[in-house]
Amino acid sequence: MQFELSKEFLERFREAINSREEDFIKKSLEGIKIADISALLEEFESHETKYVLDLLGQEVTAEIINNLEEDTRGKFLKAFDSGEIAEVIRELDSDDAVDIMNELQVKEREEVISLLDDKEKEKHIVELLRYEEDVAGGLMAKELVKANLNWTIVRTIEEIRRQAEKVEKIYSVYVVDNNDILLGRVSLKKIILANDTTKIKDIYDKNIISVETYRAEDEVAAIMRKYDLEAVPVVNVQGKLVGRITVDDILDVMQEMAEEERLLMTGITEDVEEDDSIWMLTRARLPWLVIGVFGGLLSAEFMGLFEKDIVEGAWIALFLPLIQATGGNVGIQSSSIVVQSLANPSAFEDGLWKRLFKVFLIALLNAVFLSIIVYISTFIMGFERTHGLIVSLALFSVVILSSLVGTITPLTLDKIGFNPALASGPFITTLNDIMGLGIYFYTIHVFVNALG
């Protein structure tokens, strides 16, 4: 049965915490999934959450803390001393443990490491702390199952039993040589079906995809998505097997990347939450709003150059929203598709110029259809045919140019090292507004002079 966090239950649970109703709290949480308990506890203050966790087992407590949102967990850990955090760390895989360690102060981190009685886990954590958080080395877990290519099936099964005690999920058994160089993988099915005396080197699959410790997290995500991998082994520069990245870790990365792109596309320059300070929220939103304001002022100045034409033809102002809105929409559509394609390098295998030509043909078809619709509509609405023709031609040009700008801008940003998602929000909208006005008024100016 799915857990539903209702307002009534939240208030009753808060009352139980305040009145120290241990039985109610324990019974309320029986059978509830860890993720749901984490979501529930995020609604409370640190001292309230800690009281609840003290009533639960150490393993459950560790899983709940691991599932808390990063910001919430950072505040919550302040209610724990080093010894309590060490107890939590003992229950977690090395990659999850390091995520928590990175949220601690250096002194507290060293205290926690010194309190670990599992020397192998201590070694794993110290090694993983060397890596940046946004590379494969920072994502990987040290816990895995591996077999030497010279082992027999009997020896391999014994080793799997021993190694698997510290591995929550076994996706593959990795095959290495005497120097721990990754050679391939062998499935559990092959191991089970093989004869006891068969050696791993006779049944393992050499076709294996791996990533280096220095590989960026977005590259790892692209590789795992492309090849539909549940786990990918990580090797160092010498090719030695040093860890693995599982699908749950990469899903977190993909979620963070999607959130970052969503914020950039809406013109928010920092990773902020609704409960952040007013200053942080203002600072995150203000830069692109300022750019939009200056873009609007530039548009007004630009329109002033054609003041005479506007005064002589009031109909000109009636179609300004149409030109600007269409240009902005076309630009955002084009840039959004390109940003999405950049996440999949194979989308550009046919060459950039072929892709740009395809974009041009699509823009041409859209421009033709929209221009015809506008021309017919202006005729039905009673505008002069000349006015309808001017607006239609201007719209035709705006659609073509906006589509090309929306395509080229994210490609250029990606080439020079900026996040191309910047091109899918206020940047494109502001640029296309100015460009659309320029095309519109220039078209009017040319026609008026030609007819005058």
Average pLDDT value for residue range 151-172 = 86
Question: How high is the pLDDT of residue 451?
Answer: 59
- Specify the 3-state DSSP secondary structure of 152: strand
Among 207, 208, 212, smallest CA distance to 242 is for 212
> Could you give the 3-state DSSP secondary structure of residue 171?
coil
105 residue type, one letter: Q
pLDDT tier, 426 (very low <50, low <70, confident <90, very high otherwise): low
pLDDT tens-digit map of 95-126: 899 989 988 888 998 999 999 888 888 899 99
Q: Using CA atoms, how far apart are residues 142 and 93, in angstroms rounded to an integer? A: 8
Domains, the chain, ordered by start: 7-134 (1.25.60.10), 146-249 (3.10.580.10), 278-451 (1.10.357.20)
| Cross-strand pairs, 235 | 212, 241
Upper half-sphere CA count for residue 341 (Cβ side, 13 Å): 17
Give φ, ψ of 148 to 5 degrees. Answer: -80, 140
Provide Rg for the chain, Cα atoms: 30
Confidence band of 17 (pLDDT split at 50, 70, 90)? very high
Query: What is the per-residue pLDDT for 350?
Result: 61
Residue 304 sits at φ, ψ, to 5 deg, of -60, -25
Q: Is 314 exposed, middle or buried (0-12, 13-18, 19+ CB in 10 A)?
A: exposed
Continuous H helices in 116-216: 119-128, 136-139, 153-163, 188-193
Model confidence at 311, pLDDT cuts 50, 70, 90, reads low
Q: Give the pLDDT band of residue 56 (cuts 50, 70, 90).
A: confident
The pLDDT confidence band at residue 191, using thresholds 50, 70 and 90, is very high
CB count within 10 Å of CB 429 equals: 21
CA distance 241 to 234: 6
pLDDT band at 151 (very low <50, low <70, confident <90, very high): very high
Per-residue pLDDT, 421:
64
| Per-residue pLDDT reduced to its tens digit, 200-243 | 999 999 999 999 999 999 889 889 988 989 899 999 999 999 99
pLDDT higher at 132 or 447: 132
pLDDT (average), residues 330-335: 80
The one-letter amino acid code at 108 reads: E
- Output the pLDDT for position 150: 95
pLDDT in tens, 344-387: 655 555 666 777 788 888 889 999 999 999 999 988 988 888 88
Mean pLDDT in residue range 267-295: 65
CA 398/CA 403 separation, integer angstroms: 8
pLDDT at 309: 65
Query: Please, which residues have CB within 8 angstroms of residue 338's CB and are 6 or more apart in sequence?
Result: 406, 407, 410, 411, 420, 423
Q: Region 263-271: what's the mean pLDDT? A: 58
Give 293's pLDDT tier (boundaries 50, 70, 90). confident
Distances (CA, A) of 12 to 7, 9, 15, 18, 28: 9, 5, 5, 10, 10
Q: Are strands 241-246 and 146-148 parallel, antiparallel or unpaired?
A: unpaired
The 10 Å Cβ neighbour count of residue 424 is: 29
What is the pTM (predicted TM-score) of this model? Answer: 0.65
C-alpha closest to that of 76 among 38, 46, 109, 43: 46
